[in-house]
Chains A and B, each alone.
Chain A
Amino acid sequence: MSPSDFLARVYDDHAHALFGFLLNFTRDETDTKDLLQELFVKLAQQPGLLEAVRDERAYLIRLAHNLAIDLMRRRATRGKNYEQLAAESASIFAPAVEPDEQAFHQALVAALGELPPEQRAVVHLKLWEGLTFEAIAEALDLLPNTVASRYRYGLDKMRDRLRLLYEEIK
Protein backbone atom coordinates (compact mmCIF):
# COMPACT_ATOMS: atom_id res chain seq x y z
CA MET A 1 0.00 0.00 0.00
CA SER A 2 1.43 3.40 -0.98
CA PRO A 3 1.75 6.10 1.68
CA SER A 4 -1.10 8.07 0.08
CA ASP A 5 -3.37 5.03 0.08
CA PHE A 6 -2.41 4.42 3.69
CA LEU A 7 -3.44 7.93 4.73
CA ALA A 8 -6.70 7.71 2.79
CA ARG A 9 -7.49 4.35 4.37
CA VAL A 10 -6.85 5.67 7.89
CA TYR A 11 -8.96 8.73 7.14
CA ASP A 12 -11.88 6.70 5.83
CA ASP A 13 -11.74 4.29 8.75
CA HIS A 14 -11.35 6.75 11.61
CA ALA A 15 -11.88 10.39 10.65
CA HIS A 16 -15.59 10.41 11.45
CA ALA A 17 -15.02 9.12 14.98
CA LEU A 18 -12.07 11.47 15.53
CA PHE A 19 -14.15 14.38 14.26
CA GLY A 20 -16.96 13.68 16.76
CA PHE A 21 -14.51 13.22 19.63
CA LEU A 22 -12.51 16.35 18.87
CA LEU A 23 -15.58 18.48 18.22
CA ASN A 24 -17.10 17.44 21.53
CA PHE A 25 -13.79 17.97 23.32
CA THR A 26 -12.81 21.35 21.85
CA ARG A 27 -16.36 22.61 21.10
CA ASP A 28 -14.96 24.43 18.12
CA GLU A 29 -15.15 23.33 14.50
CA THR A 30 -12.08 25.26 13.36
CA ASP A 31 -9.98 23.82 16.16
CA THR A 32 -11.30 20.37 15.31
CA LYS A 33 -10.23 20.72 11.70
CA ASP A 34 -6.80 22.05 12.68
CA LEU A 35 -6.27 19.18 15.10
CA LEU A 36 -7.36 16.55 12.58
CA GLN A 37 -4.99 18.05 10.04
CA GLU A 38 -2.18 18.10 12.58
CA LEU A 39 -2.83 14.46 13.36
CA PHE A 40 -2.73 13.40 9.70
CA VAL A 41 0.39 15.46 9.07
CA LYS A 42 1.99 13.58 11.94
CA LEU A 43 0.93 10.27 10.43
CA ALA A 44 2.26 11.31 7.02
CA GLN A 45 5.63 12.31 8.45
CA GLN A 46 5.93 9.24 10.66
CA PRO A 47 4.21 6.45 8.74
CA GLY A 48 5.56 3.84 11.15
CA LEU A 49 3.45 5.19 14.02
CA LEU A 50 0.62 2.73 13.44
CA GLU A 51 2.75 -0.28 12.52
CA ALA A 52 2.86 -2.03 15.88
CA VAL A 53 -0.45 -0.70 17.13
CA ARG A 54 -3.01 -3.29 18.23
CA ASP A 55 -6.07 -1.02 18.25
CA GLU A 56 -5.77 1.76 15.66
CA ARG A 57 -8.90 3.58 16.81
CA ALA A 58 -7.81 3.74 20.44
CA TYR A 59 -4.32 4.86 19.45
CA LEU A 60 -5.62 7.60 17.16
CA ILE A 61 -8.01 8.82 19.86
CA ARG A 62 -5.07 9.00 22.22
CA LEU A 63 -3.06 11.03 19.69
CA ALA A 64 -6.05 13.30 19.08
CA HIS A 65 -6.61 13.75 22.80
CA ASN A 66 -2.97 14.68 23.39
CA LEU A 67 -3.04 17.19 20.54
CA ALA A 68 -6.26 18.69 21.90
CA ILE A 69 -4.76 18.99 25.40
CA ASP A 70 -1.72 20.76 23.92
CA LEU A 71 -3.99 23.13 22.04
CA MET A 72 -6.00 23.91 25.17
CA ARG A 73 -2.81 24.65 27.09
CA ARG A 74 -1.62 26.97 24.36
CA ARG A 75 -4.99 28.66 24.33
CA ALA A 76 -5.04 28.96 28.10
CA THR A 77 -1.78 30.87 27.98
CA ARG A 78 -3.34 33.22 25.43
CA GLY A 79 -6.40 33.75 27.61
CA LYS A 80 -9.00 31.98 25.52
CA ASN A 81 -11.61 30.59 27.88
CA TYR A 82 -12.78 27.11 26.94
CA GLU A 83 -15.68 27.26 29.39
CA GLN A 84 -17.13 30.14 27.40
CA LEU A 85 -16.37 28.37 24.18
CA ALA A 86 -18.22 25.28 25.40
CA ALA A 87 -21.39 27.28 25.94
CA GLU A 88 -21.43 28.74 22.43
CA SER A 89 -20.33 25.64 20.52
CA ALA A 90 -21.88 24.12 17.45
CA SER A 91 -23.84 20.91 17.81
CA ILE A 92 -22.01 17.63 17.55
CA PHE A 93 -25.27 15.88 16.62
CA ALA A 94 -26.90 15.39 13.26
CA PRO A 95 -29.89 17.70 12.69
CA ALA A 96 -33.16 16.24 13.94
CA VAL A 97 -36.45 16.40 12.08
CA GLU A 98 -38.73 16.40 15.12
CA PRO A 99 -38.85 19.71 17.05
CA ASP A 100 -38.78 17.84 20.37
CA GLU A 101 -35.72 15.95 19.28
CA GLN A 102 -34.10 19.15 18.13
CA ALA A 103 -34.82 20.75 21.51
CA PHE A 104 -33.34 17.73 23.25
CA HIS A 105 -30.22 17.99 21.08
CA GLN A 106 -29.75 21.61 22.02
CA ALA A 107 -30.21 20.89 25.70
CA LEU A 108 -27.85 17.93 25.45
CA VAL A 109 -25.16 20.04 23.77
CA ALA A 110 -25.52 22.65 26.50
CA ALA A 111 -25.34 19.97 29.22
CA LEU A 112 -22.22 18.48 27.63
CA GLY A 113 -20.72 21.94 27.49
CA GLU A 114 -21.09 22.25 31.26
CA LEU A 115 -18.98 19.18 31.88
CA PRO A 116 -15.22 19.53 32.37
CA PRO A 117 -13.41 18.50 29.17
CA GLU A 118 -11.97 15.32 30.69
CA GLN A 119 -15.43 14.14 31.85
CA ARG A 120 -16.84 15.06 28.45
CA ALA A 121 -14.18 13.00 26.71
CA VAL A 122 -15.01 9.93 28.79
CA VAL A 123 -18.77 10.35 28.33
CA HIS A 124 -18.31 10.76 24.59
CA LEU A 125 -16.15 7.69 24.15
CA LYS A 126 -18.49 5.56 26.25
CA LEU A 127 -21.79 6.72 24.79
CA TRP A 128 -20.97 7.43 21.16
CA GLU A 129 -17.91 5.30 20.47
CA GLY A 130 -19.14 2.40 22.55
CA LEU A 131 -15.73 1.84 24.14
CA THR A 132 -15.36 -0.09 27.39
CA PHE A 133 -13.91 1.60 30.47
CA GLU A 134 -10.68 -0.36 29.92
CA ALA A 135 -10.40 0.81 26.31
CA ILE A 136 -11.10 4.41 27.31
CA ALA A 137 -8.52 4.14 30.07
CA GLU A 138 -5.96 2.95 27.53
CA ALA A 139 -6.87 5.65 25.03
CA LEU A 140 -6.75 8.51 27.55
CA ASP A 141 -3.92 7.09 29.66
CA LEU A 142 -6.03 6.85 32.82
CA LEU A 143 -6.91 4.19 35.36
CA PRO A 144 -10.14 2.28 34.62
CA ASN A 145 -11.52 3.32 38.01
CA THR A 146 -10.90 6.97 37.18
CA VAL A 147 -12.67 6.52 33.86
CA ALA A 148 -15.66 4.85 35.53
CA SER A 149 -16.00 7.57 38.15
CA ARG A 150 -15.68 10.35 35.56
CA TYR A 151 -18.36 8.69 33.47
CA ARG A 152 -20.66 8.32 36.47
CA TYR A 153 -20.20 11.95 37.58
CA GLY A 154 -20.68 13.24 34.04
CA LEU A 155 -23.77 11.18 33.42
CA ASP A 156 -25.32 12.21 36.75
CA LYS A 157 -24.79 15.87 35.95
CA MET A 158 -26.37 15.46 32.53
CA ARG A 159 -29.26 13.52 33.99
CA ASP A 160 -29.98 16.28 36.49
CA ARG A 161 -29.68 18.94 33.81
CA LEU A 162 -31.95 17.16 31.33
CA ARG A 163 -34.42 15.57 33.74
CA LEU A 164 -37.39 17.86 33.04
CA LEU A 165 -36.99 17.93 29.29
CA TYR A 166 -36.44 14.20 29.12
CA GLU A 167 -39.59 13.51 31.12
CA GLU A 168 -41.57 15.79 28.82
CA ILE A 169 -40.54 14.26 25.53
CA LYS A 170 -40.25 10.67 26.65
Chain B
Amino acid sequence: MNPDDFEKRLEHQRLRPIPGAWRGEILDAARRARDHQPSTFNPQPASWWRELLWPCPQAWAGLAAVWVLILALNSVTREPARSARSPNAPRAPEVLMALREHRRLLAELIGSPTAAEQPKPFEPRPRSERSQRIVAA
Protein backbone atom coordinates (compact mmCIF):
# COMPACT_ATOMS: atom_id res chain seq x y z
CA MET B 1 0.00 0.00 0.00
CA ASN B 2 1.38 3.37 -0.96
CA PRO B 3 1.35 5.64 2.12
CA ASP B 4 0.56 8.72 0.04
CA ASP B 5 -2.49 7.10 -1.49
CA PHE B 6 -3.70 6.04 1.93
CA GLU B 7 -3.29 9.52 3.35
CA LYS B 8 -5.03 11.04 0.35
CA ARG B 9 -7.86 8.59 0.72
CA LEU B 10 -8.30 9.60 4.34
CA GLU B 11 -8.09 13.30 3.56
CA HIS B 12 -10.92 12.99 1.08
CA GLN B 13 -13.36 11.65 3.65
CA ARG B 14 -15.99 14.32 4.20
CA LEU B 15 -16.71 15.22 7.79
CA ARG B 16 -20.24 15.39 9.16
CA PRO B 17 -21.64 18.92 9.20
CA ILE B 18 -22.51 20.44 12.55
CA PRO B 19 -26.23 19.99 13.33
CA GLY B 20 -28.08 23.12 12.19
CA ALA B 21 -30.16 23.41 15.37
CA TRP B 22 -27.05 23.88 17.46
CA ARG B 23 -26.34 27.34 16.08
CA GLY B 24 -29.32 29.02 17.71
CA GLU B 25 -28.97 27.09 20.96
CA ILE B 26 -25.27 27.75 21.40
CA LEU B 27 -25.43 31.42 20.42
CA ASP B 28 -28.47 31.99 22.65
CA ALA B 29 -26.69 30.36 25.60
CA ALA B 30 -23.62 32.52 24.96
CA ARG B 31 -25.69 35.72 24.80
CA ARG B 32 -27.58 34.80 27.96
CA ALA B 33 -24.32 34.17 29.78
CA ARG B 34 -22.96 37.52 28.61
CA ASP B 35 -26.12 39.38 29.70
CA HIS B 36 -26.15 37.73 33.12
CA GLN B 37 -22.56 38.50 33.93
CA PRO B 38 -22.49 40.01 37.45
CA SER B 39 -20.18 42.86 36.44
CA THR B 40 -18.39 43.95 33.34
CA PHE B 41 -15.53 45.32 35.45
CA ASN B 42 -12.84 42.67 35.02
CA PRO B 43 -14.08 39.86 37.27
CA GLN B 44 -10.83 37.90 37.02
CA PRO B 45 -8.97 39.20 40.11
CA ALA B 46 -11.96 38.68 42.39
CA SER B 47 -12.47 35.12 41.24
CA TRP B 48 -8.73 34.51 41.52
CA TRP B 49 -8.72 35.65 45.13
CA ARG B 50 -11.84 33.66 45.83
CA GLU B 51 -10.24 30.51 44.44
CA LEU B 52 -7.11 31.14 46.46
CA LEU B 53 -8.90 31.71 49.73
CA TRP B 54 -11.76 29.31 49.24
CA PRO B 55 -10.19 26.06 50.50
CA CYS B 56 -9.73 27.25 54.12
CA PRO B 57 -10.95 30.80 54.80
CA GLN B 58 -10.76 30.38 58.60
CA ALA B 59 -7.10 29.47 58.40
CA TRP B 60 -6.33 32.49 56.22
CA ALA B 61 -8.26 34.76 58.56
CA GLY B 62 -6.38 33.34 61.55
CA LEU B 63 -3.06 33.85 59.81
CA ALA B 64 -3.96 37.45 58.98
CA ALA B 65 -4.97 38.08 62.61
CA VAL B 66 -1.66 36.67 63.88
CA TRP B 67 0.25 38.96 61.52
CA VAL B 68 -1.73 41.99 62.65
CA LEU B 69 -0.96 41.09 66.27
CA ILE B 70 2.74 40.66 65.51
CA LEU B 71 2.91 44.02 63.74
CA ALA B 72 1.03 45.75 66.54
CA LEU B 73 3.33 44.31 69.21
CA ASN B 74 6.35 45.20 67.15
CA SER B 75 5.31 48.84 66.79
CA VAL B 76 4.42 49.14 70.47
CA THR B 77 7.71 47.68 71.77
CA ARG B 78 9.94 49.55 69.34
CA GLU B 79 8.98 53.11 70.50
CA PRO B 80 10.02 52.93 74.19
CA ALA B 81 13.33 51.31 73.31
CA ARG B 82 14.18 54.16 70.98
CA SER B 83 13.14 56.84 73.48
CA ALA B 84 15.12 55.18 76.30
CA ARG B 85 18.26 54.83 74.27
CA SER B 86 18.46 58.26 72.71
CA PRO B 87 19.11 60.38 75.89
CA ASN B 88 21.93 58.05 76.92
CA ALA B 89 24.36 59.05 74.25
CA PRO B 90 25.04 62.65 75.43
CA ARG B 91 25.39 61.51 79.05
CA ALA B 92 28.19 59.05 78.46
CA PRO B 93 31.03 61.36 79.80
CA GLU B 94 29.02 62.15 82.94
CA VAL B 95 28.52 58.47 83.56
CA LEU B 96 32.27 57.87 83.20
CA MET B 97 33.03 60.62 85.68
CA ALA B 98 30.51 59.27 88.14
CA LEU B 99 32.02 55.83 87.81
CA ARG B 100 35.53 57.19 88.50
CA GLU B 101 34.25 59.06 91.57
CA HIS B 102 32.46 56.00 92.77
CA ARG B 103 35.63 53.93 92.35
CA ARG B 104 37.68 56.50 94.26
CA LEU B 105 35.20 56.58 97.16
CA LEU B 106 35.12 52.82 97.24
CA ALA B 107 38.92 52.67 97.42
CA GLU B 108 38.98 55.19 100.29
CA LEU B 109 36.42 53.15 102.19
CA ILE B 110 38.38 49.96 101.70
CA GLY B 111 41.52 51.74 102.82
CA SER B 112 43.83 51.13 99.99
CA PRO B 113 45.73 54.31 99.41
CA THR B 114 47.39 53.17 96.28
CA ALA B 115 44.08 52.50 94.64
CA ALA B 116 42.63 55.81 95.76
CA GLU B 117 45.52 57.97 94.73
CA GLN B 118 46.19 58.98 91.30
CA PRO B 119 49.33 57.46 89.85
CA LYS B 120 52.24 59.70 90.69
CA PRO B 121 54.19 61.25 87.90
CA PHE B 122 57.65 59.75 87.40
CA GLU B 123 60.36 61.62 89.37
CA PRO B 124 63.94 60.53 88.68
CA ARG B 125 65.68 59.69 91.97
CA PRO B 126 69.42 59.76 92.50
CA ARG B 127 71.21 56.54 91.76
CA SER B 128 72.41 54.40 94.64
CA GLU B 129 74.78 56.31 96.92
CA ARG B 130 76.80 53.24 97.81
CA SER B 131 79.50 53.83 95.24
CA GLN B 132 79.92 57.45 96.45
CA ARG B 133 80.41 56.17 100.02
CA ILE B 134 83.05 53.74 98.88
CA VAL B 135 84.87 56.50 97.06
CA ALA B 136 84.63 58.71 100.14
CA ALA B 137 86.00 55.96 102.35
Residues of A within 8 A of B (CB): 3-4, 7-8, 11, 15-16, 19-20, 23, 33, 36-37, 40-41, 43-45, 91-94, 105, 108, 127-128, 130, 155, 158-159, 162-163, 166-167, 170
Q: Is B133 in contact with chain A by the CB < 8 A criterion?
A: no
Question: Which B residues lie within 8 Å of A19 (CB)?
Answer: 16-18, 22
Question: Which A residues lie within 8 Å of B1 (CB)?
Answer: 159, 163, 166-167
Residues of B within 8 A of A (CB): 1, 3, 5-7, 9-11, 13-18, 22-23, 25-27, 29-31, 33-34, 37
Judging by beta carbons under 8 Å apart, are B27 and A41 in contact? no
Judging by beta carbons under 8 Å apart, are B17 and A94 in contact? yes
Question: Which B residues lie within 8 Å of A11 (CB)?
Answer: 23, 26-27
Please pick, from B14, B26, B34, the residue contacting A37 in the complex, using a CB distance under 8 A. B26
Judging by beta carbons under 8 Å apart, are B11 and A91 in contact? no
Selected A-B contacts with CB under 8 Å, 9 pairs? A3-B31, A8-B27, A16-B17, A40-B30, A41-B29, A43-B30, A108-B10, A166-B1, A166-B6
A123 to chain B, nearest CB (A): 8
Residue on A with the closest CB to B36? A45
Judging by beta carbons under 8 Å apart, are A105 and B13 in contact? yes
A155 to chain B, nearest CB (A): 7
Residue on B with the closest CB to A46? B44
Kindly state the separation between the CA atoms of A130 and B12 in the bound complex, as whole angstroms.
11
Judging by beta carbons under 8 Å apart, are B34 and A44 in contact? yes
Judging by beta carbons under 8 Å apart, are B16 and A7 in contact? no
B34 to chain A, nearest CB (A): 4
Judging by beta carbons under 8 Å apart, are A3 and B34 in contact? yes
A163 to chain B, nearest CB (A): 6
A141 to chain B, nearest CB (A): 21
Kindly state the separation between the CA atoms of A44 and B37 in the bound complex, as whole angstroms.
10
Kindly state the separation between the CA atoms of A36 and B17 in the bound complex, as whole angstroms.
14
Please pick, from A37, A91, A163, A166, the residue contacting B16 in the complex, using a CB distance under 8 A. A91
Judging by beta carbons under 8 Å apart, are B16 and A93 in contact? yes
Question: Which B residues lie within 8 Å of A16 (CB)?
Answer: 15, 17-18
Kindly state the separation between the CA atoms of A159 and B5 in the bound complex, as whole angstroms.
11
Kindly state the separation between the CA atoms of A105 and B13 in the bound complex, as whole angstroms.
8
Instruction: List 4 additional contacts besides A127-B10, A130-B11, A155-B7; criterion CB under 8 Å.
Output: A40-B26, A93-B16, A105-B13, A166-B1
Judging by beta carbons under 8 Å apart, are A128 and B13 in contact? yes
B83 to chain A, nearest CB (A): 56
Kindly state the separation between the CA atoms of A11 and B25 in the bound complex, as whole angstroms.
12
Question: Which A residues lie within 8 Å of B9 (CB)?
Answer: 166
Question: Which B residues lie within 8 Å of A108 (CB)?
Answer: 10, 13
Please pick, from A7, A33, A128, the residue contacting B11 in the complex, using a CB distance under 8 A. A128
Kindly state the separation between the CA atoms of A4 and B34 in the bound complex, as whole angstroms.
10
The list of the 6 closest CB pairs from A to B, nearest first, reads: A44-B34, A44-B30, A19-B18, A40-B30, A41-B33, A94-B14
